[in-house]
A and B are shown apart, each in its own frame.
Chain A
């Protein structure tokens, strides 16, 4: 198969046509340069900035040439140097590069009797402006968030990170959709084994369509059936930079404002970016609250169930009296009561998520208050059960990462089932199996429970407690491939 241009302009045109979808918006503009030299300008309407093409390409080529042109292979280069005032121009003879450029909103200029062509960056189209993220809100720090345009996202990163070791690698993934994907890292900080692992996994993606980084994460994660995310998703450029400076890689895809950071270990999902801006005590209290909250989410409901159903003797008499009184006349057993309430809360939450923000919020609040109140008044659920479920729901909001919050939330259900079947022993076994799973998974070669297991004492400065900012460097590189000799 021919992949390079020829001297015949017709042949070249046919070659490009055979590699491109010939839709109505694919424009081939034929012009004659001075001396009746045939020239073709190719682009896809809608992807380019038409005004830019007219002003910077068509106008100079048609009206500014005031000399006899010498027709040979150097003509495109001569035109680029003397007549086309484009800020980004490339000379190539590679057909694949030409078609890829056309699909990305660039413009191709073919000249007769030349076996190369010009590719001008004329990318246009409309994009969403850089705004504050709706998902990740910060009180302090940078308010900018990524948008759907890849080039814009790259420029946001480069504006904030002026590091000479910052590197980018481009990939075209998705057999049918040919999505632009960029892998970013700081080459003197990232472990080469991790980087090669990521590269290999990206190259091995065999997908037809990749609209979002979530698809990529699922393709490249090592433990696909795990409850826990092995990559971190964010919309915030400051998080991305901070993580790259810790030796991690970042994957961006054109069309998605979410980028993925990898590798990611368990404890990171409980560390918010703001923790480092906050004062020592405030930051730590919030972080400890988050860790406690995840225990509450997983274990509070099952513990309540076990204490009510099997081990009432463990509840002090004064407390059990209140609980028993609140449960008088409740037709459902505690398990069904909890399951019903948890299911109801999930319905409200999922419903609220899909609706526009103001309506979603109203639904959650009104639904929560009115239906909760109605459920207790009608005697379907007891007030204590409502308190337990509400506490675990509120606790789930403290987990700063959405994926981890989802994973922890849904862990309640198997734990609830285990507690119903085996009582306290079920919770103990569930907790053990959970710990076993967490210790056995890894994120691109980094054990998921790093720095707890394998123990890395340097990581303890920023674990459940964050030491004062001057006593540790946030950039400490924990993300090196395990070297057992270090321990």
Chain B
């Protein structure tokens, strides 16, 4: 059987690549600047996935939906094309440990206080490697199921609508300047869509790529804006801005007869998304490693394991390293990737101008 993705699987894969730690912290990060209008900043930040996904659809279409390595070779030539995979390798090697660190910290502060960080990281890296070893079709199927679990947070959050106060959201637009100030933070939450450049050639029905890009963008924008909106509606912007893991906090406030709070239930749903997000992120890294070093895909899966483990563990133990090296590097790499996408679109536009299918 060939290694193909259905359009639904592609949509689920990209959606899962967006939804990571962001959903827990986004409301808090945005409220610090945009106050009760934070949800508007969350919507505006959606311009990044829109740009990335539409660019990918455009480039893929113009270059006959070929594999990433051929895209790189056709656009940048034989030698320059080897540099681009390196950027993706560094991006994944930095971004995956960042997610793992945030996730481990959340676990340590909630349900796994007794567990050494080393063990959490070990188990996480093991799970990511197990997933990466499967081909993209399997990850696509897994995403297809997981996305329903993740999006079910929307339904769970509906229970909070009766407990909030509309006054918490008034006035809807506090200050345009504040909303704009929050946009960079909002854009950061939408990191991860770049993986689409590696997946578009696997889709069975490539004609719908642009439609898929729009579905993904609007779903993820709705998801983020909805979460920020409900959190502000329930807690108010002041409390939201002062609570780091705000989504976890609001689940913690709910009590049932058989369980003290809903935190554990939420973590079960959300952890699945984290496992998958990191596995999806590892795909560009493994692909690029296999391409550059001419390695078998499975061997390339095992190659980054020690680096991921070490970077995650060092970042956990050394906050300075995390804050001053990892986070800034991740932002720089993300910025470089956006520039790379923009340049590639321009080059492809000029190179394919006048061609028959252009």
Q: Which residues of A contact B (CB under 8 A)?
A: 310-311, 313-316, 319, 422-429, 431-433, 435-436, 439-440, 445, 447, 449, 452-455, 481-482, 484-485, 487
Contact = CB atoms under 8 A, between A and B. Distances in A.
A159 B125 CA distance: 57
Contact of B144 (A422, A428, A454, A481): A454
A244 B114 CA distance: 53
A487 B6 contact: yes
B259 A454 contact: no
Contact of A432 (B111, B127, B138): B127
Given A425-B123, A428-B267, A435-B142, 14 more contacts: A314-B261, A314-B263, A316-B257, A316-B258, A316-B259, A424-B112, A425-B107, A428-B272, A439-B138, A453-B9, A454-B8, A454-B9, A485-B205, A487-B9
A425 B120 contact: yes
Contacts of B8: 454-455, 487
A425 B111 contact: yes
B123 A422 contact: yes
Nearest to A427: B268
A423 B268 CA distance: 12
A315 B6 contact: no
A439 B7 contact: no
Nearest to B112: A425
Interface in B1-47: 1, 4-9
A367 to B, nearest CB: 30
B204 interface: yes
Given A316-B255, A428-B268, A439-B138, A484 B204 contact: yes
17 contacts: A310-B111, A311-B264, A315-B259, A315-B260, A316-B260, A319-B257, A424-B112, A425-B111, A425-B112, A425-B120, A425-B123, A428-B268, A428-B271, A432-B271, A435-B145, A436-B142, A454-B6
B130 interface: yes
Contact of A314 (B7, B204, B259): B259
B217 to A, nearest CB: 20
A440 B137 CA distance: 9
Contacts of A316: 255-260
Contact of A439 (B4, B145, B267): B145
Interface string B99-120: 0000000010001101100011
Given A316-B259, A428-B268, A447 B141 contact: yes
B134 interface: yes
B131 interface: yes
B233 interface: no
Nearest to B269: A428
Nearest to A317: B260
Interface of B: 1, 4-9, 107, 111-112, 114-115, 119-120, 123, 127, 130-131, 134, 138, 141-142, 144-146, 204-205, 255-261, 263-264, 267-268, 271-272, 275
A436 B131 contact: yes
Contacts of A449: 141, 145
B1 to A, nearest CB: 6
B182 to A, nearest CB: 32
A429 B276 CA distance: 12
Nearest to B204: A484
A431 B127 CA distance: 11
B49 to A, nearest CB: 23
A431 B111 contact: no
B290 to A, nearest CB: 20
Nearest to A483: B204
Residue with the highest number of chain B CB atoms closer than 10 Å, among A313, A435, A453: A453
Contacts of B258: 315-316, 319
Given A445-B1, A487-B7, A454 B260 contact: no
Contacts of A435: 142, 145-146, 272
B141 A313 contact: no
Contacts of A454: 6, 8-9, 141, 144
Nearest to B134: A440
A339 B115 CA distance: 22
B260 A313 contact: yes
A413 to B, nearest CB: 18
B283 to A, nearest CB: 15
Query: Would you list the 7 A-B pairs with minimal beta carbon distance, nearest first?
Result: A484-B204, A487-B6, A453-B141, A424-B111, A439-B141, A453-B144, A428-B271
A461 B260 CA distance: 36
Contacts of B1: 445, 481-482
A451 to B, nearest CB: 11
A463 B259 CA distance: 29
Given A422-B119, A439-B141, A482-B1, A431 B112 contact: no
Nearest to B257: A316
A399 to B, nearest CB: 20
B111 A311 contact: yes
A19 B39 CA distance: 85
B138 A440 contact: yes
B123 A485 contact: no
A449 B263 CA distance: 29
Contacts of B131: 436
Nearest to A425: B112
Contacts of A426: 123
A431 B145 contact: no
Contact of B115 (A425, A431, A487): A425
A314 B123 contact: no
B114 A423 contact: yes
A424 B146 CA distance: 19
A485 B6 CA distance: 7
Contacts of A484: 4-6, 204-205
A454 B258 CA distance: 35
Contacts of B205: 484-485, 487
Nearest to A320: B260
A40 to B, nearest CB: 55
A227 to B, nearest CB: 15
A314 B3 CA distance: 43
Contact of A436 (B9, B130, B261, B271): B130
A429 B260 contact: no
A487 B134 CA distance: 22
B123 A429 contact: yes
Nearest to B262: A314
B265 to A, nearest CB: 10
- For B7, B120, B123, the residue with the greatest tally of chain A CB atoms inside 10 Å of its CB is B123
Nearest to B263: A314
A423 B267 CA distance: 13
A301 to B, nearest CB: 16
Contact of B114 (A310, A440, A455, A481): A310
Given A428-B267, A453-B144, A436 B204 contact: no
Given A315-B259, A316-B260, A484-B5, A433 B267 contact: no
Contact of B264 (A314, A319, A429, A445): A314
A135 B68 CA distance: 55
Nearest to B144: A453
A426 B114 CA distance: 12
Contacts of A429: 123, 127, 275
A310 B267 CA distance: 16
A429 B134 CA distance: 17
B100 to A, nearest CB: 13
A375 B306 CA distance: 48
Contacts of A482: 1
B345 to A, nearest CB: 28
Contacts of A313: 260
A452 B143 CA distance: 11
